Amino acid sequence: MCELDNLFTNNRQWTEKTLEEDPTFFNKLSQQQAPEYLWIGCSDSRVPANEIVGLLPGELFVHRNVANAVIHTDMNCQSVMQYAVEYLKVKHIIVCGHYGCGGVKAAMENKRLGLIDNWLRHLRDVYQKHNEALLSIEDEGQRWDRLCELNVIEQVYNVCHSTTVQAAWDRGQAVSVHAWIYSIQDGLLRDLKATVTCQDEIADAYRIAMASKRL
């Protein structure tokens, strides 16, 4: 008896249930995937991408890392974006952060956690960039939530400036980039209204989203 046996049991139950609903489900999926959306989210176990938006396997291409960061030199994330846009032809890239993000909190507190501190420096940069606005928020919890929002907007900006998205827009491929945030407390998604659909919209979308107060 392996302590992970329950996961295999769950897996068999899931396949049985799925096949009951659609006997051709796995056959169809094994032929191809044609997702319309790329989800860039946090690794947090409480933010499961497909479940939140009610999409089945095959419908959502997913990249997750700590605090949903899009770093220009992160070849993992950049490769996912390139493949999703150029080969899967996704129509939407959704950067989805979440309130109560531990990665964002760690960056705020500047604690030493080890290797991950290098990753969190990117979040720290966001924190410092918006230091003045953030420090004007007295309540620490609200400041944390606001940094979670600002981080999503900054990452959308990074997606828009990626070589992949820039090249897609140059050749006239329709790709929209969205800034969403998820609340673990009520399970609801909120649109941070920073959607960008072409090069000309980047600056305004960023400015308007940054200026708006959501808390």
Q: Which residues are catalytic?
A: 42, 44, 46, 98, 101
In whole angstroms, give the CA distance from residue 76 to residue 158: 14
Contact 63, 109 (CB under 8 A): no
* Least distance CB 149 / Co ion (angstroms): 13
Site string for Co ion, 84-103 (x = CB under 5 A): -----------------x-x
Q: What's the rounded Cα separation, in Å, for the pair 206 and 153? A: 7
Smallest distance from Co ion to CB 27, Å: 36
Contact (CB, 8 A) for 123 and 67: yes
Select 35 or 103, whichever has its Cβ closest to Co ion.
103
Report in angstroms how near the CB of residue 204 gets to Co ion at its nearest.
28
DSSP at 188:
-
Binder to Co ion among 38, 40, 42, 123 (CB under 5 A)? 42
- 37 forms beta bridges with 60, 92
3-state secondary structure of 40: strand
Part in contact with Co ion (CB under 5 A); list of ranges 25-33, 42-50, 138-146, 180-188: 42-50
Question: Binders of Co ion: how many residues, by CB under 5 A?
Answer: 4
Which strands, in side-by-side order, build the sheet including 189-191? 60-65, 37-42, 92-98, 176-182, 189-191
CB of 100 to Co ion, least distance (A): 8
Closest CB to Co ion among residues 116, 174: 116
Measured from the CB atom, is 36 or 140 closer to Co ion? Answer: 140
Pick the piece of the chain touching Co ion (CB under 5 A) from 10-18, 43-51, 176-184, 191-199. 43-51
In whole angstroms, what is the distance from residue 169 CA to residue 171 CA?
Answer: 5
Give 143 or 175: the residue with its C-beta nearer to Co ion: 143
The answer to the question of residue 44 lying near Co ion (CB under 5 A) is yes
Alpha helix (H) ranges present in 65-161?
75-82, 102-109, 116-129, 131-135, 140-160
- For Co ion, the binding residues (CB under 5 A) are 42, 44, 101, 103
